A and B are shown apart, each in its own frame.
Chain A
Amino acid sequence: MEKLLEKIAIGIMVLAIASPVVLAVETHTDSVIATANVVALCGVEASPDIVFGDLVPSQTSTPATVTVTNDGSSNTLSSDVTVEGTPWNDGTHTMAIGQTQYSEDSGTTWAALTGSPVTIFGGVISAASSKPIDFEVTIPGNQPVGLYSQTITFTLSCDTTPPQV
């Protein structure tokens, strides 16, 4: 019996030592004022992957449209949207990033894709809305044959001063 009581006492001591905060939260009675900013959520989706298909050197592909969506939760969210790319690669040969061009106005004007982030859509894409962007690629003359791919990254940066609630 004494041993049992001893074990119970040790268990209570361990519990008390191991969870003082829990016990404290559970047991405190003083009032604490806490404030929190509710951050406007944002996120970006881009689809679909681009398949330019079969091309030959010196040929320009037909444009492919990618839809960029801000799937954030705040309608008033302001943001910065950028695009950048990696060099084309087939495992053996490479092709310059800038062979890919993008257009925000359905092909009226084109800009070369770069390896550094470049702002698109005027830097703003409203939450829960989408914008299209066209891409095309021009194959340089004498580019070796192969199956090439390139990664294009869209980045959406949220406003750092979200509204307080």
Chain B
Amino acid sequence: MTTRNSRVAIITLPVLAFFILFTVINAEQSHDQTITASTAIHPNATVYCEPRVVNLNSAGYLTCFIELEGADASDIDVSTVELSVKGKAGFVNAELSPTLIDDFNFNGIQDLMVEFKISEISNNIFPSFTTPAYFDFVLSGIAKGFDFSGIDVLYVIKPQSVKLVRYLRLDAKDLGKGMLNRLNDLDLTDHVATFNDFRGYFFLTTDSKLHGQSTFYFQGNVKTQNNLNFFGLKFSRTSTTPIRVLAYMDKMNDCFAFDQYVHCDGSGFLLIKPGKRINLNHFSFEIKDGKAKIEGGEFFNDILSVTDAPITNIKIKYWA
């Protein structure tokens, strides 16, 4: 019995030792430890506002455009959008209406247009304004549950009232291609245009009594392509059509001038020959650094947008 048990032990002990050793070696050969990395990705916001010079005496609106990276403009909860200024207390909520989503800067990405009452900016953020200066305007809000913010640098002024501002530009200059950005019903992808004339005035006694008119005249050629289907045969014909465009601002809501800077918000219409008359519920222009920006449409620049129109010879006259 003892001999038999010894044999069993001689067989089983090395086997057990092997399995124990095998197990230990393998268990200790490779160890893993995992950690978790985490991040919250928020939208990256690019902000652009107009007018570039904010007149705190204005009864108008500051119009801002928000373009997001990582989310769509349509993801923005407008009720969360607010404006603040670095170094200043207070904020202003965006107007819930009007808002508009469109590609306002023609880069293929949709933007959200929101507006802020300049009177609220003046009261809430600049209650004791003294010296004109550049300020960081911060637009913040929430999109898809994630907060975002973007900065635009604007010049803030509080000018004395002027009685009459007159501006003239007489000699025609070519506009670069693409400057005449958008006109409904016209293909302007390949066109040449000349900025012929720009003239106007406004008469300002107080902010509530504003009179004047401004006209902008362009002419050029638009290349259009007509596709014809003649009994199943497809033909394509390219033609050049001369056009004349007159943009006429006859109602001024908010205009001011400061040094060689002029800004006007109002409404008017567009005459396109050949073409039609198009009402511009929103019509604005800005003269700055020898260039004019003229924009109009139902809301902003959804019909007409002319940028960098050369007006180096413009004369701005003030009668105080």
Residues of A within 8 A of B (CB): 20-21, 23-25, 27-30, 32, 34, 36-37, 39-59, 61, 64, 66, 68, 85, 88, 90, 100, 135, 137, 139, 141-158, 160
Residue B31, interface by CB 8 Å:
yes
Task: Tell me the minimal C-beta distance from B225 to chain A in angstroms.
Answer: 33
Chain A residues lying within 8 Å of B42, measured Cβ to Cβ, are 54-56, 145
Considering residues B1, B24, B70, which has the most beta carbons from chain A within 10 angstroms of its beta carbon? B70
Q: Closest B-chain residue to A43, C-beta based?
A: B31
Q: How far is the CA of A148 from the CA of B24 in the complex (A)?
A: 38
Contact residue among A28, A51, A66, A139 (Cβ-Cβ distance under 8 Å from B41): A139
Contact residue among A32, A36, A48, A68 (Cβ-Cβ distance under 8 Å from B21): A36
Residues of B within 8 A of A (CB): 1-2, 4-6, 8-10, 12-14, 17, 21, 24-25, 28-44, 69-71, 143-146, 148
Contact status B5-A157, CB under 8 Å? no
Contact status A49-B30, CB under 8 Å? no
Chain B residues lying within 8 Å of A141, measured Cβ to Cβ, are 69
Chain A residues lying within 8 Å of B39, measured Cβ to Cβ, are 51-55, 61, 88, 137, 139, 147-149
Of the A-B pairs whose beta carbons lie under 8 Å apart in the complex, a sample of 11, sorted by A's number, is A29-B2, A34-B17, A40-B28, A55-B39, A66-B35, A145-B43, A146-B40, A148-B41, A149-B39, A154-B32, A158-B28
Contact status B44-A59, CB under 8 Å? yes
Contact status A49-B17, CB under 8 Å? no
Task: Tell me the minimal C-beta distance from B250 to chain A in angstroms.
Answer: 43
Task: Tell me the minimal C-beta distance from B32 to chain A in angstroms.
Answer: 5
Contact status B38-A158, CB under 8 Å? no
Contact residue among B21, B31, B40 (Cβ-Cβ distance under 8 Å from A42): B31
Contact status B35-A152, CB under 8 Å? yes
Also in contact, A32 and B9, with CB within 8 A (given A152-B34, A153-B34)? yes
Q: How far is the CA of A154 from the CA of B40 in the complex (A)?
A: 24
Beyond A55-B41, A145-B70, 12 additional contacts (C-beta under 8 Å) are A24-B5, A29-B2, A39-B24, A53-B39, A100-B37, A145-B41, A145-B144, A145-B145, A148-B38, A154-B32, A155-B31, A160-B29
Also in contact, A28 and B146, with CB within 8 A (given A39-B28, A57-B44, A150-B36)? no
Task: Tell me the minimal C-beta distance from B160 to chain A in angstroms.
Answer: 42
Also in contact, A28 and B9, with CB within 8 A (given A56-B44, A57-B70, A59-B44)? yes
Q: Closest B-chain residue to A93, C-beta based?
A: B41
Task: Tell me the minimal C-beta distance from B10 to chain A in angstroms.
Answer: 6
Q: Closest B-chain residue to A72, C-beta based?
A: B28
Also in contact, A24 and B32, with CB within 8 A (given A57-B69, A144-B70)? no
Task: Tell me the minimal C-beta distance from A75 to chain B in angstroms.
Answer: 15
Contact status B9-A50, CB under 8 Å? no
Contact status A53-B37, CB under 8 Å? no
Q: Closest B-chain residue to A61, C-beta based?
A: B39
Contact residue among A47, A54, A144 (Cβ-Cβ distance under 8 Å from B71): A144
Chain B residues lying within 8 Å of A45, measured Cβ to Cβ, are 33
Contact status A50-B38, CB under 8 Å? yes
Chain B residues lying within 8 Å of A25, measured Cβ to Cβ, are 5, 9
Q: How far is the CA of A149 from the CA of B143 in the complex (A)?
A: 20
Contact status A53-B34, CB under 8 Å? no
Contact status A149-B38, CB under 8 Å? yes
Contact status B33-A153, CB under 8 Å? yes
Considering residues B1, B2, B31, which has the most beta carbons from chain A within 10 angstroms of its beta carbon? B31
Q: How far is the CA of A41 from the CA of B148 in the complex (A)?
A: 50
Q: Closest B-chain residue to A146, C-beta based?
A: B41
Contact status B31-A156, CB under 8 Å? yes
Q: Closest B-chain residue to A37, C-beta based?
A: B21
Q: Closest A-chain residue to B69, C-beta based?
A: A57
Q: How far is the CA of A25 from the CA of B13 in the complex (A)?
A: 10
Across the A-B interface, give the 5 residue pairs with the lowest CB-CB distance, nearest first: A24-B5, A56-B44, A52-B39, A50-B37, A30-B6
Q: How far is the CA of A143 from the CA of B39 in the complex (A)?
A: 12
Chain A residues lying within 8 Å of B17, measured Cβ to Cβ, are 34, 36
Contact status B33-A44, CB under 8 Å? yes
Q: How far is the CA of A111 from the CA of B13 in the complex (A)?
A: 50
